[in-house]
A and B are shown apart, each in its own frame.
Chain A
Amino acid sequence: MGIITFIDINGQSKETIPTNEVNLMQLAVNNNILGIDAECGGCCSCATCHVVINNKLDIIPKAQGDELELLNFVPNKEDNSRLSCQVLIDETLNDLIVEVKSA
Chain B
Amino acid sequence: MKKIIIIGGSHAGVHAAFTLRNQIPDAKIDIFSDESHYPYHRPPLSKKSLQEESCLDDILLKPKALYIKNNITFHTDSPVTNIDSHNSVIHAQNKNFEYDKLIIATGGTPRTLEIDGVASQDILYIRNFDDAQKLKNKLLNAHSVLIIGGGYIGLETAASLRVKGKDVTVIEAANRILNRVLCPIMSDYYQSYHESKGVNFIINDQIVNAKKQTSGYQLKTKKGEMISANIIIVGIGIVPTIKLAEEIGINCSNGIEVNQYCQTNIDNIYAIGDCSNYYHERYGQALRIESVQNATEQARVCSSHISGNPFKEPVVPWFWSDQYDLNLKMVGLNIGYEEIIIRGDINNHKFTCFYIAENKVVAADAVNSPGEFMAAKIIITKNKKVDLNILRDQSLSISEVMKLWEL
Point out residues on A near B: beta carbons under 8 Å: 29-32, 34, 37, 39-41, 43-47, 66, 69-70, 72-75
Contact = CB atoms under 8 A, between A and B. Distances in A.
Interface stretch (B99-107, B170-178, B340-348, B368-376): B368-376
A29 B322 CA distance: 23
A70 B370 contact: yes
Given A39-B293, A41-B41, A66-B370, A72 B22 contact: no
B378 interface: yes
Nearest to B375: A73
Contact of B378 (A30, A37, A75): A75
A44 B22 contact: no
Q: Top 4 A-B pairs ranked by shortest CB distance?
A: A73-B374, A69-B371, A69-B370, A70-B370
**Secondary structure of the B contact surface, majority rule:** helix
**Secondary structure of the A contact surface, majority rule:** loop
A72 B400 CA distance: 13
Chain B interface size, as a band, is 20 to 34
B44 A41 contact: yes
Interface of B: 15, 18, 21-22, 41, 43-44, 59, 62-63, 66, 69-70, 292-293, 296, 318, 320, 322, 327, 329, 369-371, 373-375, 377-378, 399
Given A34-B22, A39-B296, A40-B292, A45 B329 contact: yes
B320 A40 contact: yes
Contacts of B329: 45
B352 to A, nearest CB: 12
A32 B43 contact: no
Q: Which of A30, A31, A32, A47 counts the most chain B CB atoms within 10 A?
A: A32
Contact of B63 (A30, A40, A47, A73): A30
Contact of A32 (B21, B59, B296, B378): B21
Given A39-B292, A40-B320, A45-B329, A30 B62 contact: yes
Nearest to B293: A39
A34 B399 CA distance: 30
Contacts of A43: 320, 322, 327
A39 B296 CA distance: 7
Contacts of A72: 371, 374, 399
